Structure 1
Amino acid sequence: MSLANIERSDDPAPASLTTLARGVLGDFQRILMPLILFEVAFKGLVYPLWLFGSVWLLPAIVATAGRGGAVTNKDIATFMLSPPGLLVGLIAGVATIWLFLFEHLGVMFIAAMSGQGLAFRVGRVSQTLAAAGLRILRIGFVGLAALAVTTAPFALLAAIIYITFFTYHDINFYLSERPTSFYVGLGIGILLLAGAIVIGFALCVRWVFALPILLLEGLPGQAALGESWRRCRGAFWRVATILLGWEALGLGLSLVVVGAFRWFSAMALDAAGYHVSVVIPLVIILLAGHGLLLAALSFLMVSVHSLLILRLYTERGGTVRFALKDEPVRDRERDPALHEGHKPRILRLWMVLSAAFVGFVAVVAFGSTAQTDAGQRVEITAHRGDARHHPENTLSAIRGAIEAGADYAEIDVHETADGAIVLLHDDDLMRMAGDPRKVWDLTLAEIRQVDVGRRFSPAHVGERVPTLEEAIRLARGKIKLNIELKFRGRNRRLAGAVARLIHRERFESECVVASLTYDGLSEAKRYNPRLRTAAIVTFAVGDMNRLEADVISVNRKFLTNRLVRRAHARGKEVYVWTVNDPRSMIKLIELGVTNIITNEPRLLVSIRREREELSEVERRLLAARYFLDIKP
């Protein structure tokens, strides 16, 4: 049964799931070509807008925060609470919701036109959607505000739970030791998150008919939300179950299809070996196919979701009759473009557009692989020393890093109550030695009495917290040091003290000073201009390469090929942390990063040695595989 036959449902008994599924499938098949044309046009408008926003508008807003427009780690919270940060969040949130609703409305409009036997014309669709654009924006604003108000109590409770259960000791103690309080706090946090998700989903379900009401009945945004809420009474569980069921089914289908494609790609590339004439065209085809597959799955998810909503809307008394004043729906002749004789012409147009898209994706993707800096020799940093085999941040851990063949040992430094600089990651000694005292409350003599090796293994009983001076003397000429400044508690003089110590030891050429706090790096540089500094980035808004630092030390989840190329173009080195699996290590080497920070220095040393024996062509071909997330 088509939408034309169910303009208004007076039957209180809803259709069975089988009937509903057949109806949606029939609608999808009948309007497939118009939907494809709409999707191509929609994406053709969205992608340029997205590029404009991400390449020009967003960096321009972020630049008002200073420091060249980069906001990293701890500074991100301050930025997001500032006027520019709130503006960025508002623009991103509203734009995302608006585009989501706009795409769904387009599908519903095409389906409703078909149900009324109206001609499909691009001008008609454009005029109607343009007229509805402001109303969609109002729905997005009202919905976003309501979601924020309803979920705010959960966020407040989550903050209280964090303060109650996770602030007595350093957070790393809770993550590694996992005391009872960790599980209690985590359990409550999960329940709060689940509650927020349930309430948010319930609101979305009750508002699900707002778009067809806006489109077909002409009600303004807030009134459409209220009317949707009313019509959902008595059918909430049916609507929620059907929509959630489709989302789960669609997501599962997408995971299976994408997984199968990647499996096939891996098999094809493995079979191709290292024959350049075979591998290069194959990689280009697979990259383009991967992009088209993701686009097709997204198209299917949105289209079916929209058609389901429209069918459920008619069940609840909806009518497929247009009410928007700007909609010219006088003529009911069939669109010539939908005649059987003209379908091949539309299909040919779609094939040309698809081929152009394939070529564009292939050139960009493979061009990116060709521009990597994969030929340089990657440096290896042992995270907190050789912490797998020795207590972290100790002299024995630094010796282990030397024995492993690492180029650097990463260490963390704090300031004691009497101004000594010692190696320690956490704010307190709870995780390392079961001692809850804060490092800045202890003198050097007091902290020397703490055994930080006993908990690690019997072989390390008696291991003590070393000073930075001792670490420098051990490392000199054998291994370089990546010295991370820990600005917490009372470490106000830390940057200057470390900078002066390095100057006194004449160790500038054998170390890099790193920190999550950008101001601390600037302060260290003022005390010792010869220092090499590294800005540690867990998250960033804007161009982090504009930071006045010699090194960008990036969370591996945040790293991109473009970031590496731009950093190297500005003369900056790129460090990546913390990478322990061989697949990720190889990928990062292929991307051309300068330094990999790892808990497995011996493994990375062996991988580097093996890859140095490959030819340049072999390295480039292996690098191309990673755009498909395929291991060699």
Structure 2
Amino acid sequence: MSDPIAADGPDDDVTRRMLARIGRRWGPLMTFSAAFTLLEAAVLAPAAAGVLRLALGSWGRCSVGNFEIAAFFLSPPGIAGLALLAALQLTTLHLRLAGVMGVLAGEGPGVWHAFDAVKRLPTLLKLDVLQAVRYLIRAAPYLALGGFAYAKLWGPHDLNRLVVERPPEFWRGVAAVGTLAVLYAIDAGRMYLRWLFAVPAVLFEGVGNPFAALRSSEGRTRGRLLRLAAVVAGSGAAFLGAWFALTWGLATINGYVLDHVGHRPRVAVAATAFLLAFDAFALAAFGAATSAAFAALVLGAYRRAGGTIREDAVSEPKARGWTTAAVLISGGSMALAALAVRGLISDAPIAQHVEVTAHRAGALEGPENTLAALRIAAEHGADWAEIDVQLTADGRLVIVHDDDLLRVGRSPLKVATSTLEQLRAVDLGTPFGPKFAGEKIATLEEFLDLAGALPIRLNIELKAKDDAGAVALAGRTVAAIRAAGATGRARVCGQSFQGLAEVRRLAPGLEIGFISGAVIGDPTRLDVDFLMMESRLATRAFADRARSRGKAVHAWTVNDVERVGPLVDDGVVDVITDDVPGVRARLDEIARLDPVDRLLLRIRHGLARD
């Protein structure tokens, strides 16, 4: 056994010598970083996804959307899945840290020291589960207080109006929840610092009991928390600043090169492949450098706290074999990455029919969810109008998004407790513009009749408070569609899967779509015809998976026309927008591009995302 850090000496000298080892061990550190990144992507990330899928499966569905997310995280499967996922992510962090520490502490060539740390995986996993459980237990009172604050401050109000208009009630809720989040972050940060030396205890002291590792760390960090906090916060700020600088530099280089390669396809493809390889190498080097620097700082602090850093020397033949294996794995990953990039470029669609849906019947050009907006949307070339249906107190189906008319008509009337006559007394047009004065709330039947006379179809969202309300609303909506003879020119969507299932049961031929702005699991497995996804979730991988299962992907709400091209490249078949003229013009512009320009546009969009 040998100790690379002398037992005695000033604290600053200990840290300097530990940091100096990064330069001497740079080769093995880079090799280990590349190999571990593959291990993380190939094993740990799918394992984490598998744990979450098991939790969802035990709950009864493979996907949950906006209505169910809160309930999922409060259910026993959701809590168990969250705890196990946190434990696996902590294990990833600790394995990387342990491997880097092994390389820094070891002597001789190769990355054997890093891979040797894998034999301590059972102890590290137990340690991570224990930490994750303690973090969740500590979070329980904060979550309870947050739920109470939400119920008191936001519960009585329409959430959409709060987010859009941000009245004082919104900011009071933000302040309350934000304060709780900051307090928990401080509390959790203190726990993290107390347990900072748990991994070195397992790695260098041979501690096999996770409780003993935490006790050992707590003992060594006692009286040192402020200094450790300064080290962690300072290094974190430095790493974050460096990351922003690096990514800005890479984006600048990418933009400069792509601006100067011209429109020749072969040159553009070659330049793109080079830039991807260059970016990947730069980011991998940055990751290796930051993990090595942080590990060195932790080891220095651990040594100053009385810990012993020891590692066996390794013979060169044994070490060389592990190094060779790591290099081969890294080389293979680069080859696979190159093939993936080639696949991205080679299958770019040159022509694709994309439809436009007017969000809330066209909320930019007219008062939302009104007959006037529907007429304008049809004039501007919208293929569909997305509208929101609710039930009034007297059982009428009306088209309105919020549960009251405060935002759209400056009236506090609530839809569910008001009659149609009362709601029609509110002027929805004047708040939007004088030329729309007198525009009233419309019924679903009126929308169906008008759409039948226009070149536009209706995508009707079931707007209900809960699943039971959505199921009840589904029956009334299907009946109205059938009575208007509009089965072939209407579809139904919603955030409640139970409501959509009721539509499927009542009208198997009517298209249904699931809406989500935040998804856990795989919504492509749901029994629906299309998926309405918040635009950041409508990625190429998601669209490809949905297409393979016979489902179309619609993206909402896309009001920035610069987002249209990338979404089309990703496979979106319907763009939901308030700005129908702008999106329609951009789609027409893309359709007129020649194949070379279309391909170059695809490459640029892909590189910008990467």
**TM-score normalised by length of structure 2:** 0.92
Report if the CA contact (8 A) 1:575-1:594 is conserved.
Answer: yes
Match of 2:175 in 1: 187
Report if the CA contact (8 A) 1:482-1:514 is conserved.
Answer: yes
Match of 1:228 in 2: 217
Q: 1:123 to 1:355 in 2, by over 3 A?
A: closer
Give the C-alpha shift of residue 469 in structure 1.
Answer: 1.2
Report if the CA contact (8 A) 1:411-1:481 is conserved.
Answer: yes
Match of 1:376 in 2: 352
Match of 2:105 in 1: 112
Match of 1:261 in 2: 250
Q: 1:564 to 1:51 in 2, by over 3 A?
A: same
Return the match for 1:555 from 531, 534, 547: 534
Give the C-alpha shift of residue 525 in structure 1.
Answer: 2.4
Partners of 1:72 and 1:491 lie apart in 2 by 14
2:126 aligned with 1:150, yes or no?
no
Report if the CA contact (8 A) 2:32-2:326 is conserved.
Answer: no
Match of 2:197 in 1: 209
Return the match for 1:566 from 538, 542, 545: 545
2:578 aligned with 1:578, yes or no?
no
2:27 aligned with 1:33, yes or no?
yes
Structure 1 letter corresponding to 2:304: E
Matching of residues 155-174 of structure 1 within 5 Å: 155-174=143-162
| Deviation larger for 162-171 or 565-574 | 565-574
Q: 1:71 to 1:28 in 2, by over 3 A?
A: same
| DSSP 3-state at the match of 2:201 | helix
Q: 1:62 to 1:432 in 2, by over 3 A?
A: same
Report if the CA contact (8 A) 1:291-1:361 is conserved.
Answer: no
Match of 2:458 in 1: 481
Match of 1:325 in 2: none
Percent of paired sites with the same residue? 31
Partners of 1:54 and 1:442 lie apart in 2 by 48
Partners of 2:499 and 2:350 lie apart in 1 by 32
2:4 aligned with 1:4, yes or no?
yes
Structure 2 letter corresponding to 1:518: F
Match of 1:137 in 2: 125
Structure 1 letter corresponding to 2:459: N
Give the C-alpha shift of residue 7 in structure 1.
Answer: 3.0
Report if the CA contact (8 A) 2:110-2:322 is conserved.
Answer: no
Partners of 2:45 and 2:232 lie apart in 1 by 32
Report if the CA contact (8 A) 2:361-2:386 is conserved.
Answer: yes
Report if the CA contact (8 A) 1:205-1:239 is conserved.
Answer: yes
Give the C-alpha shift of residue 380 in structure 1.
Answer: 0.8
Q: Which runs of 5+ in 1 are unaligned?
A: 323-328
Match of 1:48 in 2: 42
Q: 1:55 to 1:617 in 2, by over 3 A?
A: farther
Q: 1:560 to 1:408 in 2, by over 3 A?
A: same
Structure 2 letter corresponding to 1:6: A
**TM-score normalised by length of structure 1:** 0.89
Give the C-alpha shift of residue 557 in structure 1.
Answer: 1.8
When the two structures are aligned, how many residues end up with a matched partner?
605
| DSSP 3-state at the match of 2:89 | helix
Give the C-alpha shift of residue 56 in structure 1.
Answer: 6.3
Give the C-alpha shift of residue 244 in structure 1.
Answer: 1.2
Match of 1:366 in 2: 342
Partners of 1:145 and 1:59 lie apart in 2 by 20
Match of 1:218 in 2: 206
Report if the CA contact (8 A) 2:44-2:92 is conserved.
Answer: no
Partners of 1:123 and 1:34 lie apart in 2 by 9
| Deviation larger for 285-294 or 26-35 | 285-294
Structure 1 letter corresponding to 2:4: A
Partners of 1:51 and 1:374 lie apart in 2 by 34
Partners of 2:79 and 2:442 lie apart in 1 by 44
Partners of 1:606 and 1:555 lie apart in 2 by 21
Match of 1:326 in 2: none
2:17 aligned with 1:23, yes or no?
yes
Match of 2:516 in 1: 537
Report if the CA contact (8 A) 1:373-1:591 is conserved.
Answer: no
Partners of 1:415 and 1:370 lie apart in 2 by 50
> How far does the alpha carbon of each residue in 1:24-52 deviate from its partner, in whole angstroms, 9 at most, with x for none?
44111111122223233333433321465
Give the C-alpha shift of residue 195 in structure 1.
Answer: 1.2
2:457 aligned with 1:463, yes or no?
no
2:592 aligned with 1:604, yes or no?
no
Q: 1:55 to 1:173 in 2, by over 3 A?
A: closer
Give the C-alpha shift of residue 228 in structure 1.
Answer: 1.9
Match of 2:93 in 1: 100
Match of 1:629 in 2: 608
| DSSP 3-state at the match of 1:612 | helix
Report if the CA contact (8 A) 1:8-1:318 is conserved.
Answer: no
Structure 1 letter corresponding to 2:122: L
Return the match for 1:590 from 569, 577, 581: 569
Matching of residues 415-564 of structure 1 within 5 Å: 415-476=391-452, 477-488=454-465, 493-564=472-543
Structure 2 letter corresponding to 1:546: R
Partners of 1:309 and 1:54 lie apart in 2 by 27
| Deviation larger for 539-548 or 600-609 | 539-548
Report if the CA contact (8 A) 2:98-2:117 is conserved.
Answer: no
Structure 1 letter corresponding to 2:378: I
Report if the CA contact (8 A) 1:290-1:628 is conserved.
Answer: no
Partners of 2:227 and 2:60 lie apart in 1 by 51
| Deviation larger for 491-500 or 578-587 | 491-500
2:226 aligned with 1:237, yes or no?
yes
Partners of 1:192 and 1:514 lie apart in 2 by 36
Give the C-alpha shift of residue 198 in structure 1.
Answer: 1.4
Note the aligned Cα RMSD (angstroms). Answer: 2.8
> How far does the alpha carbon of each residue in 1:495-543 deviate from its partner, in whole angstroms, 9 at most, with x for none?
1111111111111222221100111112122222221111112233333
Partners of 1:335 and 1:100 lie apart in 2 by 28
Q: 1:242 to 1:505 in 2, by over 3 A?
A: same
Q: 1:84 to 1:151 in 2, by over 3 A?
A: closer
Partners of 1:201 and 1:547 lie apart in 2 by 39
Q: Which runs of 5+ in 2 are unaligned?
A: none
Structure 1 letter corresponding to 2:86: G
| DSSP 3-state at the match of 2:412 | strand
Q: 1:616 to 1:88 in 2, by over 3 A?
A: farther
Structure 2 letter corresponding to 1:42: F
| DSSP 3-state at the match of 1:422 | strand
Q: 1:225 to 1:53 in 2, by over 3 A?
A: closer
Partners of 1:7 and 1:29 lie apart in 2 by 21
| DSSP 3-state at the match of 2:389 | strand
| DSSP 3-state at the match of 2:124 | helix
Partners of 1:347 and 1:175 lie apart in 2 by 54
Give the C-alpha shift of residue 483 in structure 1.
Answer: 0.9
Give the C-alpha shift of residue 334 in structure 1.
Answer: 6.8
Structure 1 letter corresponding to 2:500: L
Give the C-alpha shift of residue 125 in structure 1.
Answer: 4.7
Q: 1:571 to 1:44 in 2, by over 3 A?
A: closer
